[in-house]
């Protein structure tokens, strides 16, 4: 059984990874726009 703390940590971790992924996507698009 997962504790609330473990669930919250997991949720925060997923959110954090999602933010990094979105930032990488944005930076990639900026890079492509600059090169174009």
Dihedral sign for Cα atoms in the order 6, 9, 13, 14: positive
How many whole angstroms separate alpha carbon 15 and alpha carbon 2? 18
How many whole angstroms separate alpha carbon 32 and alpha carbon 5? 40
pLDDT of residue 36: 63
Q: What is the pTM of this model?
A: 0.60
Q: How many CA atoms lie within 13 A of 34 on its CB side?
A: 6
Report, as ranges of residue numbers, the positions in the chain whose pLDDT lies below 50: none
Residues contacting residue 10 through CB under 8 Å, at least 6 positions apart = 2
């Amino acid at each position: 059984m997962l504790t609330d703390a473990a669930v919250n940590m997991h949720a925060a971790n997923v959110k954090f990874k999602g933010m990094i992924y979105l930032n990488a996507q944005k930076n990639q698009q900026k890079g492509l726009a600059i090169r174009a």
